[in-house]
Structure 1
Amino acid sequence: MTDLEKAIKGLKCTFDHYASKEGKEDSLTKTETKRLLVEQLPGLLKDINDQDELDKLFNELDDNKDSEIDFAEFVVLVGAVACVCLGCAHKESTG
């Protein structure tokens, strides 16, 4: 299995672990999302100081507005965090 395949499998396993706690097994409730963020992305939360900010983040992630985060919406979160943490700015090519 390649590194990318392992990473994708890890994302799915993490999502499934937290999604299985309450509600539907194929989506994260607001509580499950908060728990996942607190436990798995503590560096992200260092700048989020209150529940209102967490609610705003959840609502921004909930693209289809069903009050749950599905795997596709979760992947968007992970991608956004990766871009912020690793820098996704396109470098201008010189030539």
Structure 2
Amino acid sequence: MPTDLELAMQTLIATFHKYSGKEGDRYKLSKRELKDLFRSELPCFLNVQKDADAVGKIMKDLDSNDDEEVDFHEFAALVTSLTMLCNDFFEEALKKQGKC
């Protein structure tokens, strides 16, 4: 039986591939695929964005090799960064409550 961390890793990989390859390279996300992923998997993140081209800007930042697609390594960097930001937010909230 897989551990929680193994399940999290499996979910991350499966989620990426659920959206990649619908157009173009099957191992990369196009801008449209990335936007679909955000809409379905991170809806709250998109809802708080005031910039209509937030996904385009995120894509540009992630696309380290300038191929106008996001590969798994670039996607994993995004998820890692968002996870660290969420952890920092929750740690700060706990500190304010005097629980950390």
Same fold (TM over 0.5): yes
Given residue 81 of structure 1, which amino acid in structure 2 is its aligned partner?
Answer: L
CA distance in 1, matches of 2:87, 2:44: 13
Once the two structures are superposed, residues 4-48 of structure 1 have per-residue CA deviations (whole angstroms, 9 ceiling, x without a partner) of 111111111000010032111100000000010111011211221
CA distance in 1, matches of 2:86, 2:68: 27
Once the two structures are superposed, residues 41-92 of structure 1 have per-residue CA deviations (whole angstroms, 9 ceiling, x without a partner) of 112112213432221111001111110000000101111111122218xxxx
Q: State the structure with bigger RCO (CA 8 A, min sep 6), 1 or 2.
A: 1
Gap runs ≥5 in structure 2: 90-100
Contact 1:48 1:54 in 2 (8 A): no
CA distance in 1, matches of 2:62, 2:38: 12
Contact 2:31 2:55 in 1 (8 A): no
CA distance in 1, matches of 2:43, 2:60: 19
TM-score by length of 2: 0.80
CA distance in 2, matches of 1:8, 1:14: 10
What CA RMSD, in Å, does the superposition of the two structures yield over aligned residues? 2.1
> Following superposition of structure 1 onto structure 2, how do residues 73-88 of structure 1 map, counting pairs within 5 Å?
73-87=74-88
Q: What secondary structure does 2:57 align onto? A: helix
CA distance in 1, matches of 2:52, 2:63: 16
Give the equivalent residue in structure 1 for 2:53: 52
CA distance in 2, matches of 1:85, 1:46: 16
TM-score by length of 1: 0.84
- The reply on whether 1:13 has 2:14 as its aligned counterpart is yes
